């Protein structure tokens, strides 16, 4: 909403710097987003009197004008206009003046004659479009007086306000002025237009028939005759332009002007084009069509309110846009002027359905003042008389669907002071509310009955009134204090551990990515999942229409993106939520953590890199018992992938991404991957490991190398050793894998180092030998492993 300071001043005598006014408006919640100076600067332009007119000796199209500019000596001016006479008062731009158009006036010679200034036209003063000659001033003015003083001209200030949805009243110059005047404690008054009327009365000229009272709580109209349509006067055109509306013709401009000034949208019909001289209001019917003012044929539905003529034909969409068939044109002489109140929801639905938002529909949606109709009709009529020479038929006709009463809200002084941290009395509250139209009357001890003004449809409960009191008292007067919770702040164990999970991945060299959680329809199939992802009803684009159930596509796309920018070494991780179908009220939502790497370790396979990263991650967190078992996992290289098992459950996958999958996402390198469910990890991290005393006795180390068939997993042998080693086995580590021709294609040697130690004694050689033999026997029995 753009408002001119000069226009605001028509309602209240605002003074002071525009910046200070802007701060007050912002503090009232009408946020000033911009302040702009508009209007021509006339500094240096004075009133001058024509003393004599002489022919230029060398030119026919220029004459020499001697003027008195109040400096005693006459000044010779060369002038290209001939529409002045001796004795006329004219505007003179003196030497040094910078004209509104940017031209600087200097003493110069024209065809050998000096010109000591410039006599100005209206267009040069930016007063109008009239280029025919210079401006001759009406009336008597003092010679030498600044022109701006003589004509009462001043530059204007344009405020650009951000008006919130709850303040339809502030979508008008008058509404802004009312709020601002109240804050500044100055008098505010609405215009009181007086309209001369002629018979026959409007009610006899045009009939009204409302058959949808739920759509139209109030409807009013006037009839104007003898209307002559032309351009609107410069001042009106200038104001509309400043407010962001294009001047069209005098009647349309008056309509917009009244809407901007008072907030009441209104509509004009060429009466001669209204069949049957009757205006009807009813709900639309499926199949009906109407051509709106923007020349678009639109379908009407049963949910739309429509305006009809005497033949029940649709001639407009109620509150949204008028119809082309009754549009005001140059030949229009009689006008029906409508001002109505429409149901907010119906207007909202129609304008949404048609994607047709107008200045009118915006105001109707938010709620216009139901009792603003009469003033708007009168103001329009007054301006039409002044500008278009209109004759106004007697009476403004109004239709009321039902009596409208204003809500009365019981407000407790204690509630106001409690919420605002103030110590206001009932009188203080009433005094703050009165200037913005809320009337408060005492209603028993410490309470007020506050009647909400008709232009504030947003206000209906006690807290709404508290906000009004707060706004006008000033939010800053509530002060600042910090509440003191009786609890200690903190993160839950899960929240703390989630940070640890992320930190562990960062420590392992993964940088945190944030891919979008939306996938394209085929993405899940591409990574080997045959589940149907949870679909979005209204995705922005089809490529983002499925919610992820795995982090793989998002992170793989991120690798592809890096690769395409020639960043070959990539290591990314993510901890985020994924989704799956469910029969519950909400979809199944679960957290996943994943790491993806390519290009860092040329000497190791991606599968090895993945397993190492996973092990390091688990070791960092102190999670023991995370098992990797060879298994073909969806999306992963079938012979280079494994399942991750923890506490008896599969909680993820690890390995190399299937090259075919990588390719499908545009990645050419081999990619290491692991992904785990977060919930089991968080659960495990909840329990704190207990201290284990460190043995003071020496340990004994032995190495065992087994020739083992290839199809026996190394971890299987390791687990066998772990259980066979007995209570004194402290650790088992696989430290070497060896293949050779001697061993053959089917086997490889697995070398383990085992450490034995007791808490209470030094182990004897016999004890260690016995444990060693048990390990060898168990490996042989379970895995056909033979000691090398």
Whether 67 contacts 50, CB under 8 Å? yes
Question: DSSP labels for 57-111?
Answer: TT-SS-EEEEEE-SSSS-EEEEES-----TT-EEEEE-TT-B-TTSPBP--EEET
Q: Of the two residues 552 and 707, which places its CB atom closer to another protein in the complex?
A: 552
What is the 8-class DSSP label of residue 359?
H
Q: Give phi and psi for 104, each to the nearest 5.
A: -100, 130
Residue 375: strand, helix, or coil: helix
CB of 358 to another protein, least distance (A): 15
Q: Of the two residues 109 and 565, which places its CB atom closer to another protein in the complex?
A: 565
CB of 557 to another protein, least distance (A): 8
CB of 359 to another protein, least distance (A): 16
Question: Any residues with CB less than 8 A from the CB of 156 and at least 6 apart, and which?
Answer: 4, 5, 6, 37, 38, 39, 242
Q: Of the two residues 609 and 763, which places its CB atom closer to another protein in the complex?
A: 609
Torsion of CA 574, 579, 580, 583, to 10 degrees: 150
Whether 76 contacts 115, CB under 8 Å? yes
CB of 549 to another protein, least distance (A): 12
Q: Of the two residues 488 and 693, which places its CB atom closer to another protein in the complex?
A: 488
CB of 286 to another protein, least distance (A): 21
Q: Of the two residues 179 and 261, which places its CB atom closer to another protein in the complex?
A: 179
Torsion of CA 598, 602, 606, 608, to 10 degrees: -130
CB of 350 to another protein, least distance (A): 12
Torsion of CA 602, 607, 611, 612, to 10 degrees: -10
Q: Of the two residues 433 and 775, which places its CB atom closer to another protein in the complex?
A: 433
Instruction: Tell me, rounded to whole angstroms, the distance of Cα 341 from its chain centroid.
Output: 28
Q: Order of strands, edge to edge, in the sheet holding 408-412?
A: 408-412, 447-451, 439-442
Q: Of the two residues 112 and 485, which places its CB atom closer to another protein in the complex?
A: 485
Whether 565 contacts 690, CB under 8 Å? no
Reading the block at residue 739, the tokens are 């293949």
Instruction: Tell me, rounded to whole angstroms, the distance of Cα 591 from its chain centroid.
Output: 30
CB of 506 to another protein, least distance (A): 4
* Strands (DSSP E) found in 548-662: 570-580, 588-598, 626-630, 636-646, 649-657
Q: Of the two residues 30 and 119, which places its CB atom closer to another protein in the complex?
A: 30
CA–CA gap between residue 259 and residue 372 (Å, rounded): 11
CB of 517 to another protein, least distance (A): 7
Q: Of the two residues 586 and 693, which places its CB atom closer to another protein in the complex?
A: 586
CB of 215 to another protein, least distance (A): 15
CB of 539 to another protein, least distance (A): 7
CA–CA gap between residue 472 and residue 27 (Å, rounded): 9
Q: Of the two residues 312 and 463, which places its CB atom closer to another protein in the complex?
A: 463
Whose structure tokens read 């056909």? 784
């Amino acid at each position: 909403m753009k408002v001119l300071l000069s226009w605001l001043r028509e309602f209240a005598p605002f003074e002071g710097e525009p910046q200070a006014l802007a701060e007050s408006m912002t503090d009232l919640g009408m946020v000033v987003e911009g302040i702009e100076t508009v209007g021509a600067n006339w500094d240096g332009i004075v009133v001058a009197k024509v003393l004599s007119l002489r022919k230029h000796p060398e030119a026919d199209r220029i004459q020499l004008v001697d003027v008195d500019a109040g400096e005693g000596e006459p000044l010779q001016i060369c002038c290209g206009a001939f529409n002045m006479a001796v004795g006329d008062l004219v505007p003179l731009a003196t030497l040094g003046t910078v004209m509104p158009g940017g031209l600087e006036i200097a003493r110069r010679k024209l065809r050998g004659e000096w010109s000591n200034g410039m006599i100005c036209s209206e267009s040069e003063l930016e007063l109008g479009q009239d280029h025919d000659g210079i401006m001759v001033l009406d009336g008597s003015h003092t010679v030498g007086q600044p022109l701006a003083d003589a004509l009462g001209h001043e530059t204007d200030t344009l405020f650009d306000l951000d008006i919130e949805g709850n303040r339809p009243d502030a979508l008008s110059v008058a509404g802004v002025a009312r709020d601002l005047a109240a804050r500044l404690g100055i008098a505010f008054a609405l215009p009181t237009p007086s309209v001369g009327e002629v018979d026959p009365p409007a009610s006899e000229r045009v009939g009204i028939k409302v058959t949808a009272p739920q759509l139209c709580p109030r409807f009013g109209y006037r009839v104007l005759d003898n209307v002559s349509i032309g351009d609107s006067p410069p001042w009106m055109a200038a104001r509309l332009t400043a407010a962001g509306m294009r001047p069209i013709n005098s009647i349309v401009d008056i309509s917009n002007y009244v809407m901007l000034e008072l907030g009441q949208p209104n509509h004009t019909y060429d009466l001669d084009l209204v069949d049957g001289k009757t205006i009807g209001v009813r709900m639309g019917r499926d199949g009906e069509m109407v051509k709106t003012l923007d020349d678009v044929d639109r379908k009407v539905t049963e949910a739309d309110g429509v305006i009809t003529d005497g033949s029940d034909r649709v001639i407009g969409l109620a509150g949204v846009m008028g119809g082309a068939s009754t549009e005001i044109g140059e030949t229009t002489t009689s006008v029906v002027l409508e001002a109505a109140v429409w149901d907010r929801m119906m207007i909202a639905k129609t304008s949404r359905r048609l994607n047709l938002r107008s200045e009118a529909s915006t105001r109707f949606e938010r709620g216009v003042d139901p009792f603003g109709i009469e003033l708007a009709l009168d103001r329009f009529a007054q301006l039409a008389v002044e500008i278009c020479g209109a004759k106004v038929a007697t009476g403004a006709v109004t239709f009321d669907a039902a009596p409208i009463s204003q809500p009365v809200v019981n407000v407790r002084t204690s509630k106001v002071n409690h919420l605002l941290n103030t110590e206001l009395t009932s009188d203080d509250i009433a005094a703050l509310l009165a200037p913005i139209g809320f009337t408060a009357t005492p209603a028993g001890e410490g309470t007020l009955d506050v009647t909400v003004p008709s232009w504030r449809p947003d206000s209906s409960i006690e807290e709404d009134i508290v906000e009004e009191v707060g706004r006008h008292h000033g939010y800053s007067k509530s002060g600042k204090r910090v509440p003191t919770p009786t609890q200690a702040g903190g993160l839950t164990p899960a929240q703390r551990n989630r940070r640890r999970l992320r930190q562990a991945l960062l420590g392992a060299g993964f940088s945190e990515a944030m891919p979008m959680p939306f996938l394209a329809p085929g993405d899940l199939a591409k990574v080997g999942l045959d589940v149907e992802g949870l679909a979005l009803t209204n995705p922005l684009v089809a490529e983002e229409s499925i919610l992820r159930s795995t982090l793989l596509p998002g992170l793989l796309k991120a690798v592809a993106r890096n690769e395409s920018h020639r960043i070959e070494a990539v290591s990314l991780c993510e901890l985020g939520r994924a989704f799956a179908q469910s029969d519950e009220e909400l979809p199944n939502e679960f957290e996943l953590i994943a790491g993806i790497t390519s290009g860092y370790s040329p000497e190791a396979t991606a599968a090895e890199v993945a397993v190492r990263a996973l092990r390091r991650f688990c070791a960092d967190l102190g999670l023991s018992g995370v098992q990797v078992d060879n298994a073909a996992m969806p999306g992963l290289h079938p012979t280079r992938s494994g399942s991750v098992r923890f506490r008896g459950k599969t909680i993820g996958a690890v390995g190399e991404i299937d090259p075919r999958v990588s390719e499908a996402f545009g990645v050419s390198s081999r990619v290491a991957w692991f992904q785990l469910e977060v919930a089991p990890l968080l659960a495990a991290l909840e329990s704190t490991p207990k201290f284990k005393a460190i043995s003071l006795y020496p340990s004994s180390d032995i190495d065992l190398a087994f020739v083992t068939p290839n199809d026996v997993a190394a971890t299987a042998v390791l687990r066998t050793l772990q259980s066979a080693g007995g209570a004194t086995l402290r650790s088992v580590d696989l430290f070497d894998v060896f293949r050779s021709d001697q061993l053959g294609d089917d086997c490889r040697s697995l070398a383990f180092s085992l450490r034995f130690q007791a808490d209470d004694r030094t182990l004897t050689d016999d004890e260690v030998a016995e444990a060693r033999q048990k390990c060898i026997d168990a490996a042989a029995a379970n895995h056909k492993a033979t000691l090398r």
